[in-house]
Structure 1
């Protein structure tokens, strides 16, 4: 992108609404409650013929540095310092407040270009707030309506005037390079891929970090990045939006998604928390590998098990991370207990990789990343049809399918129909009569014999075509 823009303003002036309007998607959570946004969220914006990078920020409220509002202020200041231009939003409908004047003074001290934007200008009685904005000393305000998309052409002109045409419209050669889509393309799960395909060690990897509130998800990502990129603190439920960050691990691009803590469904009553959980579920579906963060001091709560089961039902590759390991004293005894509980309480994910870590000290992060890579390899694995049919023959000889209603079931043919996660199809007689116990026997055999630990395995059965079926119908 040619330049970076930060959207700033006091709470509830419409910053996230404008962010969603410019990126063309509902990425940021929007609600009437002030202070919904807490972390800074980047995105690729398009405004008429302008292309630029945009950052949504928290509403600025001056508070002590050790408070939640103070940490949010620090995140927004970091976004202002990173950006080339700031869009300073004021509420034309509600008028100016002392907080607006404080922010205007802070932006003037920064010495960077500022575009004053009077949002909600479509409302009746907004003229007074619009003219009051002149008193901030930041030039003529640009009246818009972020919710209804009014005034976008004027906003484009104001941005170009503030940043300069050379920055707004790079040279043709630069545009040609910028317009190339550098994002990786991922094949659809149902596409035909070569059997026994070699795993691509260089392709970018999408990883979602999920777990209960206050399990240490944001702290873990900050430790990976080596900076305080995400808002953290002792308060539970700080994260609301699913924020994506990119970084390199041993030459490989990793795109991580920080998500809101997921509580039990019965406890989620407020609309805002429901939106946050829905955003976390979208991040799980978009990711390839999901790290479920457990609090090692109180692991295997019922909600932890439900989150793991949700991830597996979505077909994602799962890795367990037992965080806050620095608070564990008798770590050998605790580790043995965690291994026993993992095998006993998660039978549907037999062999799932689990790593003790500490997001606070950085302990175990390399082992966690290695577990993520190995699990992703397993999730992408394909097995040749010849090997599968030899394996199926040996399994049925060792343990033949049971007889149902006096007729023995026959398993004829097996092939892998998809990867991500591995999915297999078996042609057999009377697939509806095959017992669940025998299906589990086949799935466990696949895990052991083809080294598929911890990933969901899909098994489908279908009956073979009967060449005499049409003749039998004619005789009737």
Structure 2
């Protein structure tokens, strides 16, 4: 399904390209103090507090002969607005509404595309008079922004969300990890010589990967299409990850970078441990990296068929994981043997269950009913006698599930309370050991006492 399109329009030099660059997260569009730098429409993939959409930068709108270059640029802008789901009309808050702004406003009112008015360059409390003046454009309540400094993005999020968020158009079956048409992206990672390539070969039922007693045979991340019990899997074998201090060879450094890219692209990551060596600090570092990247994690003890003192080894590794991975509890710990194939079905079954939670999207109604009950049962503290008021929560994306909580004085909310919300959320919606994201946001109030 194509992503919704937001077109940024306005007269020259109001900061359209600066806002475009901020929303796409990199300096793509040229920015200069001179007007007219942008000529063609430029489209980029934008993200704002988890909302994902396409953002379109347009040329400055000028009142010129249609046959002239500025006139032809204007036609491009008009086409952009008609193509878009919503137009973001930027004015310069410091200059207020100009005659050209009024002309653009008249044109936009005649179009069918919804319009959001944003008063840009409103750093701090500057430009409030310009924002209020923008009410005269007749296009609804303007919001204050500073594209250069990143201020006002929460208000922009709330204004764009009704036009950009398409939860009703993303049926659950499209996100269902049991859909046999969507392969699960599964990366096998671990220290050198943990048996990753042997495990991949056993899964495939063929000697697809080179294996041997030497550590570091695999250098590139190899992606392979496979099926398990009728479900498609994109299986990725990766190079072993050693301690950073030991990685000196340029080729090994490139291999490490390739493995990290494989983690970034995966949905579920299997961290393979060597049962004959137990759990090492490097294993915990790899596991933490996977969790920080927001990927679902399964930990598998390989070479279980030759492990000594199996029961005490398993319990010791489990206890060490609970202590070393405090940021995510109950990460699945399974035992496998790449040599015999024992435990592989259980490993794949756990991976598909985790993937389902990783793709989970909770409806706004369900989410806020849980949220109200959780806050009522355990209200947030009141630092210095001043209440922290949590208003509502929304899920802004899945893969992994990511949420934004809106309220007042949320910067004073203790980390322990945030953990309480995450743990309660995980339990209420059966999200299992899936990394969750929770961001706290408070709308900026220009009348707050500093």
Question: What is the CA–CA distance in structure 2 between the aligned matches of 1:312 and 1:446, rounded to whole Å?
Answer: 18
Q: Equivalent residue for 2:324?
A: 345
Q: Equivalent residue for 2:111?
A: none
Mapping 1:217-228, distance limit 5 Å? 217-228=196-207
Q: Equivalent residue for 1:334?
A: 313
Q: Equivalent residue for 1:367?
A: 346
Work out whether residues 320 and 353 of structure 1, in 8 Å CA contact, stay in contact via their aligned partners in 2.
yes
Q: Equivalent residue for 2:274?
A: 295
How far 1:311 moved relative to its partner? 0.7
Question: What is the CA–CA distance in structure 1 between the aligned matches of 2:273 and 2:427, rounded to whole Å?
Answer: 26
Pairing partner for 2:172 from 184, 197, 212: 197
Q: Equivalent residue for 1:421?
A: 400
How far 1:445 moved relative to its partner? 1.4
Query: In the alignment, does 2:433 pair up with 1:461?
Result: no
Work out whether residues 212 and 294 of structure 1, in 8 Å CA contact, stay in contact via their aligned partners in 2.
yes
How far 1:465 moved relative to its partner? 6.1
Pairing partner for 1:277 from 250, 253, 256: 256
Work out whether residues 303 and 338 of structure 2, in 8 Å CA contact, stay in contact via their aligned partners in 1.
yes
Question: What is the CA–CA distance in structure 1 between the aligned matches of 2:271 and 2:165, rounded to whole Å?
Answer: 28
Work out whether residues 196 and 383 of structure 1, in 8 Å CA contact, stay in contact via their aligned partners in 2.
no
Pairing partner for 1:397 from 358, 376, 387: 376
Pairing partner for 2:227 from 248, 266, 270: 248
Q: SS of the residue aligned with 1:445?
A: helix
Query: In the alignment, does 2:333 pair up with 1:358?
Result: no
Question: What is the CA–CA distance in structure 2 between the aligned matches of 1:350 and 1:193, rounded to whole Å?
Answer: 29
TM-score w.r.t. structure 2 length? 0.60
How far 1:325 moved relative to its partner? 0.6
How far 1:191 moved relative to its partner? 7.0
1:352-395 Cα offsets, whole Å, 9 max, x none, are 12211010110100000001100100100111112221212222
| Paired residues, number | 282
Pairing partner for 2:243 from 243, 261, 264: 264
Work out whether residues 322 and 354 of structure 1, in 8 Å CA contact, stay in contact via their aligned partners in 2.
yes
Q: Equivalent residue for 2:187?
A: 208
Q: Which segment is superposed worse, 370-379 or 289-298?
A: 289-298
Unpaired runs of 5+ residues, structure 2, are 1-163
1:39-83 Cα offsets, whole Å, 9 max, x none, are xxxxxxxxxxxxxxxxxxxxxxxxxxxxxxxxxxxxxxxxxxxxx
Q: Equivalent residue for 2:105?
A: none
Q: Equivalent residue for 2:265?
A: 286
Q: Equivalent residue for 1:43?
A: none
Q: SS of the residue aligned with 2:342?
A: coil
How far 1:435 moved relative to its partner? 1.2
Q: Which segment is superposed worse, 393-402 or 360-369?
A: 393-402
Inter-CA distance 219–191: structure 2 relative to 1 (3 Å threshold): farther
Question: What is the CA–CA distance in structure 2 between the aligned matches of 1:444 and 1:253, rounded to whole Å?
Answer: 31
Q: Which segment is superposed worse, 294-303 or 237-246?
A: 294-303
How far 1:217 moved relative to its partner? 0.3
Query: In the alignment, does 2:328 pair up with 1:381?
Result: no
What's the C-alpha RMSD, in Å, of the aligned pairs?
Answer: 2.1
Inter-CA distance 295–193: structure 2 relative to 1 (3 Å threshold): farther
Question: What is the CA–CA distance in structure 1 between the aligned matches of 2:208 and 2:376, rounded to whole Å?
Answer: 57
Q: SS of the residue aligned with 2:261?
A: helix
Q: Equivalent residue for 2:293?
A: 314
Question: What is the CA–CA distance in structure 1 between the aligned matches of 2:255 and 2:177, rounded to whole Å?
Answer: 33
Segments of 4+ in structure 1 off by > 4 A? none
Question: What is the CA–CA distance in structure 2 between the aligned matches of 1:191 and 1:324, rounded to whole Å?
Answer: 47
Unpaired runs of 5+ residues, structure 1, are 1-189
1:165-223 Cα offsets, whole Å, 9 max, x none, are xxxxxxxxxxxxxxxxxxxxxxxxx9744478241421111111110001110000000
Q: SS of the residue aligned with 1:371?
A: helix
TM-score w.r.t. structure 1 length? 0.57
1:286-337 Cα offsets, whole Å, 9 max, x none, are 1111111111222321110010111111111111111111112332333333
Which of these two proteins has the greater Rg computed from alpha carbons? 1
Question: What is the CA–CA distance in structure 2 between the aligned matches of 1:327 and 1:296, rounded to whole Å?
Answer: 8
Work out whether residues 276 and 308 of structure 2, in 8 Å CA contact, stay in contact via their aligned partners in 1.
no
Work out whether residues 213 and 236 of structure 1, in 8 Å CA contact, stay in contact via their aligned partners in 2.
yes
Inter-CA distance 299–192: structure 2 relative to 1 (3 Å threshold): farther
Q: Equivalent residue for 2:130?
A: none
